[in-house]
A and B are shown apart, each in its own frame.
Chain A
Amino acid sequence: MSDFWSACLSQFERELPAQQFNTWIKALRCEDEEESPRRLRVLAPNRFVLQWVRERYMNKIETLSREFYGEPVDVSLGLCEALKTDPADSENEVAAEAAPVDMRAAKQSTNRLPISSSSNHLGDPSYDKTRLNPDFTFDTLVTGRANDLARAAAQQVAINPGTSYNPLFVYGGVGLGKTHLIHAIGNAVLMNNPKAKVSYIHAEHYVSDVVRAYQQRSFDAFKNHYRNLDLLLIDDIQFFNGKGRTQEEFFYAFNALVEAKKQIIITCDTYPKDIQGLEDRLISRFDWGLTVQIEPPELEMRVAIIKKKAEASRINVSDDVAFLIAKNLRSNVRELEGALNRVLAFARFHGREINVEVAKEALKDVIGASNRQLTLDLIQKTVADYYKIKVSDMYSHKRTRAIARPRQIAMWLTRELTPHSLPEIGEAFGGRDHTTVMHACRTVVDLRSKDGILNNDLHVLTQTLKG
């Protein structure tokens, strides 16, 4: 280590609280790049630390280096090279091909955190008590721009529970993977220390626990349970809205845990200041630690997620299929997963290979392409617009070809796309007899086989109507 860097480290160690020093500064490496002009490169173990250091400590490092060398120094920040080029991690490359998804943070976790797998916990009652889902690990979490900061922060917490940031507050929209992330922390902590007392609880259940404790006058047991934990994961804290007694209990549990340097991790659908119906003293405490956001995944990340989930089921899904699914379900990961499961189930049942055709077919169930409720009026209007005639011509008595043909087409479409009976259709088209409708249908069927333009019109109209 260079003299400068030791001096720099000891300076930070003096100025910063031990927790912050250990989390942010200690893991940094420094390389002398050139003597003249003097250039230094500071390397961070992951993107999260990198960003944090850039925002908060970079000026200080620059000032210290200028003072140390007595000349202007060009200090740059980067990621550890070792993390960038590790050939062992081939899945990164798979994902990187599909998407600019950053897996470096993930790699760090695999280097330092044991991998948890569901089979490790089978039939383990003490694990069941944690209410953790063994499938939710850092390993199965796809990282992209939308969640890499949150992930890096979560990994820091998993490595140093209770000492890096307390509480860790994760917020983001519905179905973006907040729960997955905090389960991953719980699983990682348990793998590091199987004796750790970890508990995952959804806020709704916490509320019912308080109610039960209230009814059974068992607050002592309740308090004991929560205050003896090493790691409390509490999901969807927005459900505390307006529940005074719950908030009070949580406030005391929170204080006790933080004081004992036990880790608390909270998720919410919004950032602390914006939570409705929560006491200020709680909200201000949520800001004590670190607040990170998870954003909706962009297309490439959704593709990576699909591939990862399929991989977990040991099934290979090609890029075009993954893109098809990802394009159709944009807003959250949960529905993405539902769609993928549907495609896999469909292919399995019909014994077919998973390709774009199969995926399209299966996705019909998920998306409901032909679901618009079609009414007679809608069909008449659509056809009239298409042929640039008046809607009233649909039920007028004019019989010129330019009007009669569209009318026949509308009748045929109604017959095909709605459950109306022939007499009902006739009635709706100016009180015509049901035999007229039958004739119209026959004419259209007959003509479409000979007339390419008409056939195309029918195709377009059907598509338009089905939406």
Chain B
Amino acid sequence: MALSADPPKCLIQGRLQSARILPEMTAPNSPVRRQLLLKLRPEGAPTLDNFVVGSNDEMLARLRTIGGTDQLYLWGEPGCGRSHLLTAIARSGGDRPVVSVSASDVHDDIDVVTGSILIVDDVDRLSPSGQGALFRAFISARQNGVALLLSGPLPPLQLALREDLRTRIGQMLIFEIRGLSDDQKAEALRHYAEQRGLPMDDAVVRYLLLHGRRDLPSLLTTVDRLDEISLAQQRPPTLPLLRELLTETRQSLANTETKGIL
């Protein structure tokens, strides 16, 4: 099937029947008729608006007004949405240039543009030379009118970085990205499923929260999987289907663990 590299916008907006390959196009002899799937991720790119706020309203308000030579440090457990927020800011820097780098890619010097917003994710992964580069970015930031937005998995006090860099991070305005409550997660899941055009009723959401891993990335992955299976098997995303999926996932997890032990 011919696919343009850049699908029309309507495809991205939601679950579209046209994204499926019709059954008669699949191999006629396959015992179970499985729908082949196009791997189109329908959910929109990260923005501040599609971040589920939870109890992070102050941080989000502050992020929306980032400007001047502001210095913000966001931290939180893996899966709390750090990269989502940083990407959102990187995409919507307004009229300012944005320099966005991943810490593991920083080596000698960060090319800081005057007047830009410098974004560095995962500061805990900076190499010694990367730490030097970020340190230099720090000491020239005010002079160059650069705003800094950094993130990491830990509060500054616990970062294992050069002390002169670590304390400078500690001087920034620090926000912990707080995880969502179960109710907020349910809301996030519903919203996410809706974006995919996946009709998911409350019982399914409740079951997922009760029986699945409850960190948001795991939950979203499960919704993705549920959507895929539902499309492939042409079954509605009901409770029984979710149960099958979870059992399957657990078993394959258990298998890999056993293999690991053996």
Are A and B co-members of a single complex? yes
Does A69 count as interface, using CB distance less than 8 angstroms? no
Cβ of B173 and Cβ of A345 under 8 Å apart? Answer: yes
The reply on A365 being an interface residue by CB < 8 A is yes
User: Considering only CB atoms and an 8 Å cut-off, how many residues of chain B contact the other chain?
Assistant: 36
B171 touches which of A335, A364, A373, A438 (Cβ 8 Å): A335
> When the two chains form their complex, are residues B156 and A366 in contact, meaning their CB atoms are under 8 A apart?
yes
Q: Is the CB of A341 within 8 A of B214?
A: no
Known interface pairs A338-B156, A368-B157, A421-B212; A202-B167 also in contact (CB < 8 Å): no
A275 is an interface residue with CB less than 8 A from chain B: no
Q: Interface 1/0s, chain B 162-192, versus A by CB < 8 A? A: 0110011011111110000000000000000
Q: Is B58 an interface residue (CB 8 A)?
A: yes
B58 touches A338 (CB 8 A): no
Give a binary string over A314-350; 1 marks a CB under 8 Å from any B CB, 0 the rest: 0000000000000001001011011101100110011
Which of A133, A205, A346 is within 8 Å of B58, CB to CB?
A346
Q: Which residues in window 343-376 of A have CB below 8 A to B?
A: 345-346, 349-350, 364-368, 371, 373
Question: Cβ of A334 and Cβ of B171 under 8 Å apart?
Answer: yes
A204 at the interface (CB under 8 A from B): yes
Q: A338-B156, A368-B75, A371-B158 are in contact. Are A422 and B210 (CB under 8 A)?
A: yes
A120–B182 Cα distance when bound, in Å, is 54
- Name B186-214 residues within 8 Å CB distance of A: 210-214
Most buried by A among B62, B143, B164, B213: B164
Complex Cα–Cα for A329 and B158 (A): 12
Q: Which of B15-23, B46-54, B94-102, B132-140 forms contacts with chain A? A: B132-140
- Closest Cβ–Cβ distance, residue B193 to chain A (whole Å): 19
**Does A175 count as interface, using CB distance less than 8 angstroms?**
yes
Distance from A426 Cβ to chain B, minimum over Cβ atoms (Å)? 10
Asked if B61 is an interface residue, CB under 8 A from chain A, the answer is yes
For the complex formed, measure the closest distance between the CB of B186 and the CB atoms of chain A, giving whole angstroms: 14
A424 adjacent to chain B (CB < 8 Å): yes
**Residue on A nearest B157 in the bound complex, by CB:** A367
Does B67 sit within 8 A of A, measured CB to CB?
no
Residue A114 CB within 8 A of the other chain: no
- A174 near B167 (CB under 8 angstroms)? yes
The one of A334, A367, A419 in contact with B167, judged by C-beta atoms closer than 8 angstroms, is A334
**Interface contact B174-A338, CB-CB below 8 Å:** yes
Query: Is B176's CB under 8 angstroms from A419's CB?
Result: no
| B61: chain A residues within 8 A (beta carbon) | 349
In chain A, positions 383-437 with a C-beta closer than 8 Å to chain B are: 419-424, 434
Interchain nearest-CB distance for A59 vs B (Å): 41
B218 within 8 A of A: yes
**Chain B min CB distance to A288 (Å):** 27
Q: 0/1 per residue, A131-174, Cβ < 8 Å to B?
A: 10100000000000000000000000000000000000000011
Please measure, in the bound complex, the distance between the C-alpha atom of A350 and the C-alpha atom of B62, giving whole angstroms.
12
- Interface majority SS (helix, strand, loop, mixed), chain A: helix
Within 8 A of B (CB), among A162-207: 173-175, 202, 204-205
Which of A133, A337, A366 has most B Cβ within 10 Å?
A: A366
Question: When the two chains form their complex, are residues B164 and A419 in contact, meaning their CB atoms are under 8 A apart?
Answer: no
| Minimum distance in angstroms from A297 CB to a CB of chain B | 14
Q: Pick from A204, A332, A366, A419: contact of B174, CB below 8 A.
A: A366
Query: Is the CB–CB distance between B171 and A337 below 8 Å?
Result: yes
B220 within 8 A of A: no
Cβ-neighbour of A419 out of B155, B157, B213 (below 8 A): B213
Whole-angstrom distance between the Cβ of B56 and the nearest chain A Cβ: 10
- Cβ of B154 < 8 Å from any Cβ of A? yes
The reply to whether A342 and B140 form a contact with Cβ atoms under 8 Å apart is: no
In angstroms, how far is the closest chain A Cβ from the Cβ of B217? 10
The complex places the Cα of A222 from the Cα of B158 at a distance, in Å, of 41
Whether A368 touches B176, Cβ cut-off 8 Å, given contacts A332-B167, A335-B156, is yes
Cα distance A178–B175 in the bound complex, in angstroms: 27
Choose among A334, A338, A346, A371 the residue with the greatest number of B CB atoms under 10 Å from its CB. A338
Give the residues in chain B near A335, CB-CB below 8 Å: 156-157, 167, 170-171
Given known contacts A175-B167, A371-B158, A421 and B214 CB-to-CB distance under 8 angstroms: yes
Residues of chain A within 8 A of B84, CB atoms compared? none
- The answer to whether A345 and B167 touch (CB under 8 A), given A204-B136, A420-B213, A421-B211, is no
Measured between beta carbons, the chain B residues less than 8 angstroms from A367 are 155, 157
Q: Does B107 contact A (CB under 8 A)?
A: no
Query: A338 CA to B169 CA in the complex, in Å?
Result: 8
Least distance between A429 CB and chain B CB atoms (Å): 15
Contact indicator B173/A341 (Cβ below 8 Å):
yes
A335 to B163, CA, bound (A): 11
Return 20 A-B CB contacts under 8 Å, by A number: A131-B143, A174-B163, A174-B164, A202-B139, A204-B135, A205-B139, A269-B164, A329-B170, A334-B168, A335-B156, A335-B157, A338-B156, A338-B173, A339-B170, A345-B173, A346-B58, A368-B155, A368-B176, A373-B77, A423-B250
Additional pairs, 13, CB under 8 Å, beyond known A133-B142, A366-B174: A175-B170, A202-B140, A204-B136, A205-B136, A334-B170, A335-B156, A335-B171, A337-B171, A341-B171, A364-B176, A419-B214, A420-B213, A424-B213
